[in-house]
Amino acid sequence: MEKRVRLTREEAKARTRRALLDAAAAVFSEHGFHGASIDMVAEAAGYTKGAVYAHFANKDELYLALLDEHLSAEGPPPIGLLEGGAAIDAIAAQIEETLPQELERMRDWGRLTYEFVLHAMRDDGVRARLAERFHRACDDYAGSLERRAVARGESSPSDLRQRAVALMAFENGLSLLGFIAPELLEGGVYSATLARLLER
C-alpha cells in the first residue's frame, strides 16, 4: 500500500487555492463573469463556499488572481523575436500566420476580460485594482522594447513609455477586432501597424 504523504499547512493552502482558481477559470468560461457565482466555483472545485472566501474576498479577487497569472505567463513566441531584435517582417509574418488560431484559443479569456473591464468601469474600487494591472502590463511592454533596443545595439527610444502604451493598446485592440470582425485584420494590417510602432 502506497504511503500517503501529509501536506504541510502551506502546501494544503496552495493546493486548495490552485483548485479554486482552476474551477473559477472553468466556471467563468462557461457562464461569464456576471453569470458565475462563488457557489458555482466552490461546487466545481469540490470545496465549500467558506473555503473560497478563505482565499478570495469576492468574485473580483478571483478574476484578478487569474489575470495576474495570465500577465506573468511566458509571452507568445513573437515576443521572443521582438526582444531578440528580429526584423519587423519576421515578427509580423509569424504573428499573422498564427493569429487565427491564437484568437480562437484566447476567445474565452477575451470575453471574460472585456466583461470584467465593463464591470470595472462601473466600480471605482475595482477600476483602481485593474488599473494597477494595466500599469504592470505596460511595464512589461516597455521592458520588451528596451531588450529589443539592446539586442539591436541601439539606445532605448526616448519615448519608450509612450511606445509601450501604444503597443499594448494596439495588441488589445487587435484582439477585440479579431474576435468580432477578423476580416479587418487581413491584408498585412498587423505588419504595417507594427512597423509604424517600432520604427525609429
Tens of pLDDT along the chain (200 residues) come to 455 667 788 888 999 999 999 999 999 999 999 999 999 999 999 999 999 999 999 999 999 999 999 988 766 667 888 899 988 888 888 887 888 888 888 899 999 999 999 999 999 999 999 999 999 999 999 999 999 999 999 998 889 999 999 999 998 998 899 899 989 888 888 778 888 888 76
Give residue 24's pLDDT.
Answer: 97
CA–CA distance, 164 with 169 (Å, rounded to integer): 9
Q: Which helix or strand (DSSP H or E) is residue 176 part of?
A: helix 160-180
CA–CA distance, 77 with 95 (Å, rounded to integer): 9
Please provide residue 34's backbone torsions phi and psi, each rounded to the nearest 5 degrees. -75, -30
In CATH terms, is domain 8-57 a member of 1.10.10.60? yes
CA–CA distance, 9 with 191 (Å, rounded to integer): 51
Give residue 200's pLDDT.
Answer: 66
